[in-house]
Structure 1
Amino acid sequence: MSGAAITTVEALESMVGITLAGVTRFLKEGLDKDYKENLY
Structure 2
Amino acid sequence: YVHENNPRAAAFYRRFGFVPSGQRTPMPGDRGEWELEYVIERG
TM-score norm. by structure 2 comes to 0.27
Give the number of the structure whose residues are more often strand, by fraction: 2
Q: Which has the higher contact order (CA 8 A, sep 6+)?
A: 2
